[in-house]
Each structure stands twice: as structure tokens, then as C-alpha cells.
Amino acid sequence: MKTSKIISMIATLALTGTLFAGCSNTGDAGNAGAGGNAANAASGGSDTVTLTVWGSQEGQPYLERMCESFAAANPDKNYVFNYGVVSEADAKKEVLKDISAAADVFGFASDQTGELVSAGALYRITKNKDQVVAENTEPSIKAATVDGELYGYPYVSDTYFMYYDKSKFTEEEVLSLDTMLAKDIEGISTNFAFDTDNGWYQSAFFFGAGCKLFGDDGTDPTKCDFNNDRGFLVGEYLIDLVKNPKYGANFDDSLIKAGFADGSIAAAVTGTWNATEIQKSLGDNYAATKLPSITLSNGESVQLGGMANFKIMGVNSETKNPLDAMALAEWIASYDNQVINFEERSLAPTNVKLTADTEKLNSNIAVAALAQQAQYATVQTSIPQAGNYWTPAEAFGQDIIAGNITKDNLQEKLDKYVESVLSALAS
């Protein structure tokens, strides 16, 4: 399939599925927050601004570089930065421990937008709002918006796809998971590696079969149909799948990278954040594409779907320097820095000027694969009820892997899964 413009694909999935001047380093999230706010309070001169910034471990060098360039571009003030290691996935958890002690600027995954806003943790974007909206894709802006108000700056488009060793599989073979698992490959212990007990990935099977999480547009907290007839077919497939010795049922990122490095796996599902290491391991045999199709027990072939989300730079609602914090967050998420993330980290952009450059995007194997898969993915919801999804999904996946779920008790287990997802939120 020829890859069309990534913006078109992301826009389609939104409609249908519904990172651096002087610095001091801190070792963990708690110290980063406390240190940053203490420094802010101690800042004596009006021309000295101290900001604490959180980002992922792998993104620290880029975060520092971008903060330094921001300071260089704004020489009228003396900017001091404190850095903390908090991944986008963990941002909500760390911020909500104590909003006042959290970073002034931090990256978060878009599925956290709703809960962060509900908790009063995000500063409403007032500086250059119209420009930010115009410069980024509609779905990414939607993911950063609650009740018509913008609460962050999108800068990365995310979903997962399949990396593979093209000396082990042909372009035709990777279209079907059944074909991939049927192949005997010398020296390979795992034909296909997947993180079955991770709800973000596990959803690929349910969404592929047509199931919905929180209704058609992902906003109805009373609806989840993973236990319907289509969900039952998915459960049956997963029960058989985990028994296949060529299927790696519980491969997180560290195991996937290690498997490609030692040559024990032939294909795996993960995202652009691992592209550099996987490419280094596979060398000339490095390849990536959309997820494969599967054949359900009724003989129907379905394309695996999955979740798509965005990385967003947010500003702490309790920051003592909101204008400077907004300016820094906007800078980190700017076109120039999205280019750096794309070219040096293989991260897919949200900036419309960059997403429109199809030739440039397709020059990156991982980003091109992300664009392929995006048309089959569902934008990850940010409603508060979504917080109830992750633990039941993990439990279901673990029980599938352990063999605790059989075709005899599958319906009961699916019903319990959905009941837990839709249960009342803890107050």
C-alpha cells in the first residue's frame, strides 16, 4: 500500500475512531518538583526565571538542548532549568501526587488530558493559542482540548506498528500473522513478539474485530462491548495464540530490543521511540510496516487495529511563571524542534507543515510504517473513565498468558473485564 500523507491518515482515524543556559540536574521526579519550586521561590531578580522541566529518560539530551536554545533566543532574561526524568506515560501519576511540587513544564500522553484537567493540574493555554491550533493537526489539537479550551502543545503523533527482519520475512508474509507464525525460521525462537497484557497493545485485537471502548467516539463512559460476539472471537483467537511457541506473548520494550539485538526474534510490535536501536540491530535487514491481519475462528480475516495518541507539552496550573512556562512549552513543541525529533529520534510530527512533507516523512521507515498503521487505529480517549481500562486489560492479558482463561470460561471472563472497565470511578 502506498503511504499517503500522515496528516490525512491521522485525521481519518480521528473521525472514525472515535523537549537548553545554565541548569542543575535532579535525579527523580519528587526532587525535581521540590527543587524547581524552591528555586522559583528563591529567584531574586525579576529578570531571572527558574523552570523545572520533566521528560522521558531517552529524551533528556534533547530536552536540555531545546531549553538551551530557548534561553539563547530570549537573552533578555536569565533562564535556569531544573530537569527531571518522568516519562509521558507516567506524567499524570507523578503530577497528581502533588501539583504544587510538580514541574512547571512537562510532557504527557494525550489520554491523560481529561484527568489532568479535571484535577486542575493544567494551565489553560492563552498565549498564541490560535497560532498553535493552526500549526498542528486537527486530531492532535482535539486531544489537547477540553470543553473548547486548549490545555497543551502537541508535538508527537504516536501509535505502534510492526518492525521485522526482512531476511526472515518477505513483504507478502508480514501481511498475515497466521502466515508469519506458520513459518519455520532457523535460529529464531520468536517469530512475532507482542505485549499481550498491556492494554494499549491488546486493544489491537479487539478494535480489529470491530469492538468499541466507550462507544463509537470514545466518549461514552457507560459503553464497552469487548464481551460481545466479536469480543468472544478475539478471546478465542488469543487463547490459541498464546499457546503457539513461535509467539512471544509478553514482550515489553526491553525484551523486544534485546531480541532484535541478539537475533532471537524476527518481528515485534512497538513504536518509533525504539526505532534507532532496532535499526542499529537489524542493519540492512531493518524493515517496518503496519500490523498484520489475523483469521478469526469463523474464518474471517481482520486487520489488527490499536490505539493512537499524541505527546503533549503541558504547563502546570500552579507554576509561578506561567508566561515563561507557556513560551518554553510552545518552543519545545515548535516546528524546528519537531524536525529534530523526527530526524534524530524518528518521532512522528503533529506540525501541519511537516506532516504535509510526504517525501520527507516517507524517507523514515518507522514513521512511514506509523502512517500506514494510523489509518487502522482508534484515537485513545481521554475521558476520566478510561482510567478504569488499564488494570482489567492487564489482568485479562495475564490470565490469557497463564492459561487461566479457557474457551469454557471465556464469556464469564470477558463479562468481568467489561464490568471492571465500566465500574464507578473511585472518588
Q: What is the pLDDT of residue 212?
A: 97
Class assignment of domain 6-158+308-378? alpha beta
**CA 173, 175, 179, 181 torsion-angle sign:** positive
**Residues contacting 235, CB < 8 A, separation 6+:** 400, 405, 407, 410, 413, 414
- According to DSSP, residue 45 is labeled S
Which tens digit of pLDDT belongs to each residue from 53-111? 999 999 999 999 999 999 999 999 999 999 999 999 899 999 999 999 999 999 999 98
User: How far apart (Å, rounded) are the C-alpha atoms in residues 42 and 35?
Assistant: 10
Same fold, 6-158+308-378 and 160-307+382-421: yes
Contact 333, 314 (CB under 8 A): no
Structure confidence at residue 373 (pLDDT): 93
Instruction: DSSP letter for 175, please.
Output: G
Q: Which three cell numbers stand for residue 190?
A: 520468536
What is the C-alpha separation between 81 and 91, in angstroms, rounded? 18
Best CA proximity match to 226, nearest among 252, 249, 248, 199: 199
- Residue 275 is predicted with a pLDDT of 94
- pLDDT of 46: 57
Q: Is 160-307+382-421 a CATH 3.40.50.10540 domain? A: no
Radius of gyration of the chain (CA): 22
pLDDT of residue 4: 33
DSSP track, 226-288: TTSHHHHHHHHHHHHHTT-TTEETB--HHHHHHHHHHT-BSEEEE-GGGHHHHHHHHGGGEEE
pLDDT at 384: 84
Q: Are 141 and 359 in contact (CB under 8 A)?
A: no
Contact 225, 211 (CB under 8 A): yes
Count of helices and strands (H, E) across the chain: 19, 16
Rounded CA separation 176/352 (Å): 33
The span from the CA of 151 to the CA of 314, in Å, is: 7
pLDDT value, residue 427: 59
pLDDT (0 to 100) of residue 382: 83
Residue 222, Cβ neighbours under 10 Å: how many?
A: 8
Q: pLDDT tens, 47-64? A: 899 999 999 999 999 999
Write the CB contacts of 315 (distance below 8 Å, at least 6 apart in sequence). Answer: 104, 105, 122, 123, 125, 152, 322, 325, 326, 329
**Structure confidence at residue 197 (pLDDT):** 97
The ranges assigned to domains in the chain are 6-158+308-378, 160-307+382-421
Q: What residue ranges of the chain have pLDDT lower than 70?
A: 1-46, 427
